[in-house]
Amino acid sequence: MNIVEMKNITKSFGSGLSKVEAIKNVQFTAAGGELLAVVGPSGSGKSTFLEIIGGLLTPDSGILTIDGQNYHDLSGNQMEKMRLDKIGFILQGYNLVPYLTIREQFELVEHIKRTPNMDRSAFAEVLDGLDIDTILDKYPADLSGGQRQRAAIARAIYADPKLILADEPTASLDSQRAFEVMKIFKDLTRLTGKTVIVVTHDTRLEKFVDQIYTITDGILQQGKVKED
């Protein structure tokens, strides 16, 4: 079954002369166990696309189904529960809680979520792969951008969601660490059947993914757009 299905999804911001059509008539599906990337330049609609899938933005029109449930039919509470239980969101701005250490950010996940999190030994491997075992007792403000980014990735994975949405997850990382993150995503899709959708302008990541999409001025196309 497809975990994500988007039909004719459109979203605009503003009105009148300042109206911006951020994504236009998007058709998209993602199956279980897939690692997908949507690549496009700044302002092309990547975050808008991902935030609609994650329920952070409501589309103007179109049909969105997540794990067999039409978003349109969900109440605010049901939507919140779906987000918490099924979706791990790695936001472009990391979104760590400033007054909690990295370890406490993970503990917070245990507090707010009722379904089980990742088991300890599997999570220890993720921490090791992301090289953040040494920063667990630090606050976000005391970390580099790359460390914050890796902590945000670990937090999303720890909650053990079916669907991981990652907005520019490698923007602050050097190539080696960026590839390590993609390897972790790939292993998650292969070993646990999760679906990972990465939106990025980083073409270094293309070789890791099962399918690539291109977004240009809000229009999504499957495959790479030919460069001329």
Ligand X SMILES: Nc1ncnc2c1ncn2[C@@H]1O[C@H](COP(=O)(O)OP(=O)(O)OP(=O)(O)O)[C@@H](O)[C@H]1O
Which residues in this chain contact ligand X in the complex, by CB under 6 A? Answer: 13-14, 20, 22, 40, 42-48, 92, 201
Compare residues 140 and 218 and give the one whose CB is closer to ligand X: 218
Site for Mg ion in 108-167 (CB under 5 A): none
Q: What is the longest distance spanned by two Cα atoms in the chain?
A: 55
Stretch that binds Mg ion, among 29-37, 39-47, 97-105, 206-214 (CB under 5 A): 39-47
According to the binding rule CB under 5 A, does residue 170 interact with Mg ion? no
Q: Please give the Cα distance from 4 to 14 (Å, whole number).
A: 27
CA–CA distance from 14 to each of 11, 18, 20, 31 (Å)? 10, 6, 6, 33
Q: Which residues pair with 165 in a beta bridge?
A: 89, 197
**H or E element in which residue 197 lies:** strand 195-200
Residue 191's φ and ψ, nearest 5 degrees, are -85, -30
Q: How far is the CB of 47 from ligand X (least distance, A)?
A: 3
Residue 202 · residue 171 · CB < 8 Å: yes
Site for Mg ion in 44-83 (CB under 5 A): 46-47
Q: How far is the CB of 25 from ligand X (least distance, A)?
A: 15
Stretch that binds Mg ion, among 23-31, 40-48, 56-64, 175-183 (CB under 5 A): 40-48
Q: Which residues bind Mg ion (CB under 5 A)?
A: 46-47
